[in-house]
A and B are shown apart, each in its own frame.
Chain A
Amino acid sequence: MTTVATFKIEHTQYLDASGKPTAKKMPKWAKDADTLKALYRSMARIRQLDTKAYALQRTGKMGTYPAATGQEAIGVGFGSALTADDVLCPYYRGQASMIEHGVTMEEILLYWGGDERGSDFKNAKQDFPIAVPIATQCLHATGVATAMKLRGEKRCVATEIGEGGTSEGDFYEALNVAGIWNLGVMFIINNNQWAISVPSSIQTACETYAQKAIAAGIEAVQVDGNDIIAVREAALNAAEKARNGGGATLIECVSLRLCDHTTADDARRYRPENELDSGWKNEPIIRLRKYMESLGIWDEQQEETMMAEVVAEVQTAVDNYLATPADSPEAMFDYLYEELPSRTQEQREYAINNKVVGGHH
């Protein structure tokens, strides 16, 4: 018997839970005060946005919303590794990376407030809207990357998926084709340990989710998903590799969902009692704050000033969202095809004439 293939998965961490460096050498950018402060602010802003969104849902001012509490380092980390020329194919818990790539908080709120206009991004013009059907976004990313490759463009595509989503066929099909065609895709797994109520022990028999890429011939790494330096460094490398024709990378980011699956879920029904206690000790925002304090670039005064600004910024987005009236009934028809068929035009007129007064939220 001979061994015909072997593989290993490496786990990377730069900062431990207390913000102390654990790696011998930090990335150069991880010593730059402005970069660190910007990442910190982005994470704090997502935490605040999620908090406000929850409050909006609980008071009947918004629909179902999936927070990313505890996973802010993942979206901010890889989202900030993208350039404006790159394309993002997000999943439903993707608000952090979307905002990093230019989507506005108002658009995020509008979307979860039941309004398709939230997916008509002002800035991220080529980015996909949030994919709700699980894992489907992975294939869109491979298609975008195929177009880039055929046209010889030095751009990359990023897509994010929950660890539960990696059980879907579309995930494997996307990895497979990305491997064969050497596509410039960065696959990010947000391993927050829970797929609604299903833990990893029921989701996979693998030691890691990263190794699922091995069977597709794709480079795979695992990083501490609560360590934004580890997430961002892996993403920067993967993006650069993708843009230069080096093909796809899978990055598994290990974190923990510190919130419910969505506002429609109650994790107390299934989560072990003490999980959150240890979870909050590992969360990513404090970790980066402590690291910045140890570098002498952050203090209580700066924290207070930044938080006040972030709270105001989120509040402005909330106010704008709440001040946006629902679209008129004809909007149901006006973007169906480039040209609406005559039969459907009749229905459009009918819908306008039968407009339900107060028929929207």
Chain B
Amino acid sequence: MPAITLIEAVNMALAHELKHNKDVVALGEDVGANGGVFRATDGLQKQFGEERVIDTPLAESMIAGLSIGMASQGMRPVAEMQFMGFIFPAADQIICHMARMRHRTRGRLTLPLVIRAPYGGGIHAPEHHSESTEAIFAHIPGLKVVIPSNPSRAYGLLLAAIRDPDPVIFLEPKRVYRIVKHEVEDNGEEYPIGCCFVDREGTDITLISWGAMLHETHMAAAKLAEKGISAEVIDVATVSPLDIDTILESVEKTGRVVIVQEAPKAGSLGSEIAAEIAEKRVFSLLAPIGRVSGYDTVMPYYRLEKQYMPTVDRIMEEALKTVEYK
């Protein structure tokens, strides 16, 4: 079994579902002959044809609205937004229709579709290519927002997203598209949506993260171990609906929490997780909840992006402060 990258895992999951379900189609800008600007759909049009892997005109709202129409007929479109920074023309379709269709028709029309988008910073990209705006969509009832952190999860979660009966926003942390390889068997086995994953068990502190930041978080956990501190690491994976139970269980065990995210701090997923912990397990806490995040400012153009994004050192500093709190 060859080891594959996250982007290759996305490609493998797409190919698997295209092969096994005739209702599945992949569509988006440049997904056909070009195979996607990150090569997520590389070779798929050649394998499955132009009617299954569809190059669309350049219009994001169209891609989303068209997917809604197709899904209402029982197809399972997997649409690519080339970058999450370009998803906003489609926000009207996603928020006002995609998220609400099942509800407002009392279940008569359902939309089993996926919107994929690479997101996040750290690849020296042009402006508008690096933001982490997952909280905007996580705030919308009726959507599911899933973020894989590694190749295995990308494969299993994308399979689950495509098979899900409701719309899923599938955000791919593009900084880690190619930095880690996993041995992933193309066996069609899903990872569950709506579950956090305990990546590393520990007893002294819980580190919570998702997407690309999980890699820095794991590095911090390893460094903490060198100092004799046992960190539990949770990959949130599905940021909406949030599996708060797994998080609360860990908090009960460790009593100390640091949340790590690339997104700005205010009104974020970290805010929501912290609020839930405060509401439900405040008396399990031995220290204030710590947060390491992007800043509440515009995602800088790339010469300053390393100043903006949380580093292993920043996570270490916050974790040590939290562990040492008395």
Please tell me if B300 contacts chain A, counting CB pairs below 8 Å. Answer: no
- CA A343 – CA B73 in complex, angstroms? 30
Q: Which residue of A lies closest to B103 (CB)?
A: A335
B69 touches A143 (CB 8 A): yes
What's the nearest-Cβ distance from chain B to residue A123, in Å? 11
Please tell me if B253 contacts chain A, counting CB pairs below 8 Å. Answer: no
Partner of A336, one of B62, B67, B89, B103: B103
Interface bracket on B = 35 or more
- CA A116 – CA B107 in complex, angstroms? 11
What's the nearest-Cβ distance from chain B to residue A345, in Å? 10
Please encode chain A, from 132 to 151, with 1 for each CB lying within 8 Å of some chain B CB and 0 for all others: 11001011111111111011
Interface bracket on A = 35 or more
B68 touches A143 (CB 8 A): yes
Please encode chain B, from 72 to 87, with 1 for each CB lying within 8 Å of some chain A CB and 0 for all others: 1111000000000000
Segment at the interface with B among A170-178, A195-203, A270-278: A170-178
A338 touches B25 (CB 8 A): no
Please tell me if B317 contacts chain A, counting CB pairs below 8 Å. Answer: no
Which residues of A lie under 8 Å from residue B106 when comparing CB positions?
A: 116-117, 119-120, 335
**Interface centre among A120, A142, A146, by most B CB within 10 Å?**
A146
Partner of B25, one of A138, A150, A344: A150
B105 touches A143 (CB 8 A): no
Please tell me if A322 contacts chain B, counting CB pairs below 8 Å. Answer: no
- CA A342 – CA B244 in complex, angstroms? 9
- CA A52 – CA B69 in complex, angstroms? 33
What's the nearest-Cβ distance from chain A to residue B96, in Å? 5
B65 touches A170 (CB 8 A): yes
- CA A132 – CA B74 in complex, angstroms? 23
A344 touches B65 (CB 8 A): no
Please tell me if B215 contacts chain A, counting CB pairs below 8 Å. Answer: no
- CA A129 – CA B109 in complex, angstroms? 9
What's the nearest-Cβ distance from chain A to residue B193, in Å? 10
What's the nearest-Cβ distance from chain A to residue B288, in Å? 24
Which residues of A lie under 8 Å from residue B278 when comparing CB positions?
A: none
Please tell me if A341 contacts chain B, counting CB pairs below 8 Å. Answer: yes
B72 touches A126 (CB 8 A): yes
- CA A342 – CA B247 in complex, angstroms? 14
**Interface centre among B69, B101, B104, B166, by most A CB within 10 Å?**
B69
A140 touches B105 (CB 8 A): no
Q: Which residue of A lies closest to B102 (CB)?
A: A335
B70 touches A143 (CB 8 A): yes
Q: Known interface pairs A129-B104, A136-B92, A136-B96. Does A338 touch B62 (Cβ–Cβ under 8 Å)? A: no
A126 touches B93 (CB 8 A): no
Segment at the interface with A among B53-61, B115-123, B216-224: B53-61
Which residues of B lie under 8 Å from residue A116 when comparing CB positions?
A: 103-106
Which residues of A lie under 8 Å from residue B70 when comparing CB positions?
A: 143-144, 146-147
A343 touches B108 (CB 8 A): no
Which residues of A lie under 8 Å from residue B72 when comparing CB positions?
A: 126, 128, 140, 143-144, 147
A343 touches B244 (CB 8 A): yes
Q: Known interface pairs A133-B97, A139-B61. Does A148 touch B104 (Cβ–Cβ under 8 Å)? A: no
A125 touches B108 (CB 8 A): yes
Which residues of B lie under 8 Å from residue A142 when comparing CB positions?
A: 62, 65-66, 69
What's the nearest-Cβ distance from chain B to residue A220, in Å? 19
Q: Which residue of B lies closest to A342 (CB)?
A: B245
A143 touches B108 (CB 8 A): no
Partner of B141, one of A136, A169, A336: A336
Which residues of B lie under 8 Å from residue A141 when comparing CB positions?
A: 69
A147 touches B142 (CB 8 A): no
Please tell me if B290 contacts chain A, counting CB pairs below 8 Å. Answer: no
B62 touches A170 (CB 8 A): yes
- CA A63 – CA B242 in complex, angstroms? 36
What's the nearest-Cβ distance from chain A to residue B274, in Å? 15
Partner of B75, one of A119, A147, A335: A147
B65 touches A144 (CB 8 A): no
B62 touches A344 (CB 8 A): no
Please tell me if A7 contacts chain B, counting CB pairs below 8 Å. Answer: no
- Nearest 5 A-B pairs (CB), nearest first? A143-B69, A139-B65, A341-B241, A147-B73, A173-B62
Q: List 8 additional contacts besides A133-B96, A140-B69; criterion CB under 8 Å.
A: A117-B106, A129-B105, A136-B92, A170-B93, A177-B56, A177-B59, A177-B62, A342-B245
